[in-house]
Structure 1
Amino acid sequence: MNRLDPASLLQAFSTLTLDLQRLAQHQDIEHFQHHALARLSQLLAFDSAWWGRSAVINGLPHEHNSYLYQLPPDYLADWQSIRHLDVTVARVHASPGEAVIIDMRDSANGSALNWLGQRHGLGELLCVIHIDPQTHLSHHLTLYRQPAAPKFNVQDCQMINNLMLHLVAAVSANQIRTLVAMRETLTSPRNLALAVCDPRGVLQCAERGFVDLLLSEWPQWRGPTLPVPLDERGHDGKHIHIQASPVGDQLLLAARINRALPQLSPRENDVAQGFGEGKTYKEVARDLGLSPNTVRHHIRAIYTKLGVKDKARIAHLVHAPPD
């Protein structure tokens, strides 16, 4: 895009941020970043991009999740092989929130970065990071132009500096919307707390109740990395159960307290669970293949064993919804 006058640039920026909010609400978690970057390219021209999240360990960034836009899958492995020589890392971390421009063909920036640029047909890069004050993970966005493309300029830097917070917020909003949509597809959605984590087990976003449930199982946990490794098998603990579902390169997590109460027999636990989900006598009887009178017999035994007098209290004891 040609250089814009201040008034036109402000209007274009405002329209872009509104479009990012719209995309966050309507795109699924797997495709949001693609559409967001495609929209960004209409205002700030680039040929390819790398958008991800990482943590600095012993001075080197370790990627937690990455999205490559118009870049081959092996780009990440190639970069990891030279990351200790990439001058971009030190420069962006020296001034978080301030974009840097680096010529990947300039010998002054090192032979490793020269090799990476030549291997993937890249000329300049424009990179900015935002460091999360709670998790200390850095969101990073790198835009690339081919060698023959116009150079990045000061206006491009100002644009991406001001846009980065909006991009981070849009990612978070998109993940939260995904959690809400996921909740509606699950059994007893009000009895669940949801979260998103990356392949390394680092929480990307979580409902408050999810953290409370983790603390009930692991009181000393402080995050942001999950206290135990998780895969699609989830986790069955002493106090909680966590279901894990892959979405792209991330996991959607649904946690609930274990519904079985040791005072009850297996059949009584089944009946208590049914009432905890708000079902009627007839619905519980139908689902369990019992007569309504048998269900009533079980409910009386449950009242006695748990020391309660109504079904609402059973619901609270069996699986009180995390707040």
Structure 2
Amino acid sequence: MHPHTTRDTSAQASEVHLAASVSGLLLSLYRLAATERIGAFEQRVFALLHEHMEFDSAWLGHSTLTPLGPQLHSSHTDNAVPGFVTDWEQVKGQDPLVGLVAGRPGGTVALSVQREALGLPLRALCRRQGIAHVLCGAHLAAPARRTTHLSLYRKPRRQPYAERDLRMVECVIAHLAAALEQNRLCRMREMRDSGNDSDSDSDGTATALFDADGFLQYADESFRERMALQWRAWDGLTLPGEARQPLLHARGAGFTGACLRLTAERVGDLVLVRACPRGAAGLLTPRELAVARLFGKGLSHKVVARQLGIAPTTVRHHLRQAYAKLGVGDKGALAGRLRG
């Protein structure tokens, strides 16, 4: 057999094996995303990766890229020395992986610590952690500059990461980011519904996940509309200042405003926030409330329809629903009920 033929056959077999490994991993990954709790999901991901790759420790995180370096929102480690993430925060400005990963097609890079021109603090961190070889993949979601990263580490006795390892992470990293989002959204909806005494639509409750510093990560479609009831100029990025302390640091205190009630619950390293309107607004859907408010100000059906980008018949439908839910029969009573 010709040597070239042998090499071609070996390469084809390697590609087939890689494809089968990736396929099996992804099937399990999405199944776990739909069934596991936040926190437990990440640990199951590490166990799944161990079935397909060799590594001694790992780090899975979600962050926003800033000029000062990644701002971590969620972080999970596997078999890392305690204090690893805290120590990394102190030297992240010297970590070359962010720039290397961003500049490489596929968003994946491998390096050996001894071969890289790393600063002394970063070398010391790797030495304390027993890290000799690093394989890092990242998926960037533009334009928010949110990134999901996976870093796999090997000890000095191990071989450096090979091209197959790079290819494996390249194939998986975007799916891992999608599975993380699916996991958060599934758990968020489950907890929203379990926290309501009635159907979530009629109850008016919306939910969102924030990180421990109050930065918004995931939210129901109606969450921003609910928040605007209390804070009309809410930036949609972080918890308002007056709600931050009672929700993030005062255990079980919650926040109650003139138009909105917020409660918080820890979920892994994130915080689930439930937003429930108070008074009449809490009985209406966001669209019914918007229509009722404009109509109550004296605007006609056509003007309300034009401002909201819907048909006049749809405006009438929402008004009928609002009248029925609020127990009123005319425009004046509607406006008064909403003011009350």
- Could you state the TM-score of these two structures normalised by the residue count of structure 2? 0.72
CA displacement at 1:10 relative to structure 2: 0.9
CA gap of 1:313–1:185, structure 2 versus 1, over 3 A, is same
Q: Deviations over 1:171-216 (max 9, x none)?
A: 1111111122213322234121111111121222111011211223
Residue 140 of structure 1 corresponds to 149
The amino acid of 1:259's aligned partner reads G
Residue 227 of structure 1 corresponds to 240
Give the alignment partner of residue 194 of structure 1, picking from 207, 213, 230.
Answer: 207
Superposition pairs of residues 18-167 of structure 1, within 5 angstroms = 18-95=27-104, 97-106=106-115, 108-167=117-176
Gap regions ≥5 residues in structure 1: 262-268, 274-307, 318-323
CA gap of 1:310–1:137, structure 2 versus 1, over 3 A, is closer
Question: Does structure 2 conserve the Cα–Cα contact (< 8 Å) formed by 1:213 and 1:240?
Answer: yes
Question: Does structure 1 conserve the Cα–Cα contact (< 8 Å) formed by 2:112 and 2:160?
Answer: no
- SS state at 2:59 partner: strand
CA gap of 1:46–1:63, structure 2 versus 1, over 3 A, is same
The amino acid of 2:187's aligned partner reads T
Structure 1 residue 6 corresponds to structure 2 residue 15: yes
CA displacement at 1:44 relative to structure 2: 1.9
Residue 316 of structure 2 corresponds to none
Give the alignment partner of residue 237 of structure 1, picking from 257, 274, 279.
Answer: 257
Residue 285 of structure 1 corresponds to none
Residue 313 of structure 2 corresponds to none
CA gap of 1:201–1:155, structure 2 versus 1, over 3 A, is same
Structure 1 residue 178 corresponds to structure 2 residue 178: no
Superposition pairs of residues 247-266 of structure 1, within 5 angstroms = 247-259=267-279
| C-alpha separation in 1, matches of 2:104 and 2:167 | 14
Question: Does structure 2 conserve the Cα–Cα contact (< 8 Å) formed by 1:245 and 1:251?
Answer: yes
- SS state at 1:5 partner: helix
CA displacement at 1:260 relative to structure 2: 6.2
- Number of residue equivalences: 272
| C-alpha separation in 1, matches of 2:43 and 2:51 | 13
The amino acid of 2:262's aligned partner reads I
| C-alpha separation in 1, matches of 2:58 and 2:225 | 37
| C-alpha separation in 1, matches of 2:156 and 2:323 | 73
CA gap of 1:154–1:86, structure 2 versus 1, over 3 A, is same
Question: Does structure 1 conserve the Cα–Cα contact (< 8 Å) formed by 2:208 and 2:217?
Answer: yes
| C-alpha separation in 1, matches of 2:162 and 2:18 | 14
| C-alpha separation in 1, matches of 2:50 and 2:37 | 20
Q: Which has the higher helix share?
A: 2
Structure 1 residue 216 corresponds to structure 2 residue 229: yes
| C-alpha separation in 1, matches of 2:31 and 2:143 | 26
Question: Does structure 1 conserve the Cα–Cα contact (< 8 Å) formed by 2:210 and 2:270?
Answer: yes
CA displacement at 1:119 relative to structure 2: 0.8
- SS state at 1:144 partner: strand
CA gap of 1:93–1:41, structure 2 versus 1, over 3 A, is same
Question: Does structure 1 conserve the Cα–Cα contact (< 8 Å) formed by 2:259 and 2:278?
Answer: yes
CA displacement at 1:34 relative to structure 2: 0.6
CA displacement at 1:238 relative to structure 2: 2.6
Q: What RMSD, in angstroms, separates the aligned Cα atoms of the two structures?
A: 2.8
CA displacement at 1:95 relative to structure 2: 4.1
Q: Deviations over 1:118-147 (max 9, x none)?
A: 111111111122222253222111111111
CA gap of 1:58–1:227, structure 2 versus 1, over 3 A, is same
Question: Does structure 1 conserve the Cα–Cα contact (< 8 Å) formed by 2:141 and 2:147?
Answer: yes
| C-alpha separation in 2, matches of 1:115 and 1:152 | 21
CA gap of 1:59–1:95, structure 2 versus 1, over 3 A, is farther
